[in-house]
Homo-oligomer: A and B are copies of this chain.
Amino acid sequence: MNRRSFAANALGGALLVAATAGACAQSSPQPLPRPRMMQQSDVAPLKVAMLVYSRMVTLDLVAPQSVLQMLNSEIHLVGETREPVATDLGLPVTPTCTINECPRDLDVLFVPGGLMGSVACMKNPAILDFLADRGAHARYVTSVCTGGLVLGAAGLLRGYEATAHWAVTHLLPLMGATKVDARVVHDRNRLTGAGVTAGLDFGLTLAVLLRGQEAAERTQLILEYEPAPPFRKGTPVLAGPERVAEMRTGRVWMEGQAWDASLAAAKRLGL
């Protein structure tokens, strides 16, 4: 095997990947070239809108975004305004367009998680109206982590099976969804992922729907996604009742806020 050219092509796709500019302003201070992923240059770019908001979880956005941009996507980071938002990691994310500027017809509408930030979105009529409007037209309506609560509050999961971060999935039925305990849940054109790291499994599942199995598999190889966690404690069942009990104490306020926001959304939705 010629390792040099083998490696070269893989990295060409993997590591000189596209910047995220859409029709709106580029957030990067040093815009990068936008090479297309191999085998994808003959397809039209996917129109993707990813909501960004204060206190979001960076990894909830970055993992799906990493997959989507390898599929020849025009990615819009959509903020309520163009002000940079602060994430859980302190890395600011600058919207590339506002909710008013976001294209109307989307292949993918995506909402990341970030609990108190998600709760704020669940109570924000401008955000909810935006999601309801674009969600009614989008080819796929999607979320990861507590982003599922925001879709729910916008009325977009009513009558659908869905999931979210394990700690909040019990709130989904309040907003008309059928809770499913799975890593990724696909019901018609809704695709929801579980907590944080589920963004990778979600992203590859979405890749299959958007670009087919082969393109998704190529993306997986580039991202070298063959996970090997050093231990298996990633769900409440695997973590066991002792750790779960230990994690139950304290911070009741925050969950109360999520609960109240879900009930308020249910009332608005006539549920």
Please list the residues of chain A having a beta carbon within 8 angstroms of any beta carbon in chain B: 1-21, 26-32, 38, 54-55, 57-59, 62-63, 65-66, 69, 83-94, 113-116, 118, 145-146, 165-168, 170, 183-184, 194-198, 200-201, 204-205, 208, 213, 216-218, 220-236, 238-239, 243-244, 246-256, 258-259
Would A11 and B224 count as touching, CB distance under 8 A?
Answer: no
Q: Which residues of B contact A230 (CB under 8 A)?
A: 184, 201, 204-205, 208, 216
With A15-B146, A30-B86, A250-B12 in contact, do A195 and B218 touch (Cβ < 8 Å)?
Answer: no
The smallest C-beta distance from A65 to any residue of chain B, in angstroms, reads 6
A253: contacting residue among B8, B85, B165, B259, CB under 8 A: B8
Q: Which residues of B contact A232 (CB under 8 A)?
A: 226
Would B229 and A225 count as touching, CB distance under 8 A?
Answer: yes
A170: contacting residue among B7, B30, B201, CB under 8 A: B7
Given contacts A8-B256, A11-B255, A29-B85, 15 further A-B contacts (CB under 8 A): A4-B259, A5-B250, A9-B249, A9-B250, A12-B254, A15-B55, A15-B57, A16-B55, A17-B89, A29-B83, A57-B66, A92-B94, A220-B231, A221-B235, A226-B234
List, sorted by A's number, 5 A–B pairs whose CB atoms are closer than 8 Å.
A14-B167, A16-B115, A29-B86, A200-B229, A220-B233
CA distance A133 to B256 in the complex (A): 49
A235: contacting residue among B94, B183, B224, B244, CB under 8 A: B224
CA distance A239 to B167 in the complex (A): 35
CA distance A216 to B65 in the complex (A): 26
Q: Output the nearest chain B residue to A63 by Cβ-Cβ distance.
A: B59
Would A58 and B54 count as touching, CB distance under 8 A?
Answer: no
With A225-B229, A232-B226 in contact, do A11 and B168 touch (Cβ < 8 Å)?
Answer: yes
With A14-B115, A69-B89 in contact, do A229 and B220 touch (Cβ < 8 Å)?
Answer: yes
The smallest C-beta distance from A39 to any residue of chain B, in angstroms, reads 8
Would A7 and B239 count as touching, CB distance under 8 A?
Answer: no
Would A234 and B221 count as touching, CB distance under 8 A?
Answer: yes
With A15-B113, A19-B90 in contact, do A221 and B239 touch (Cβ < 8 Å)?
Answer: yes
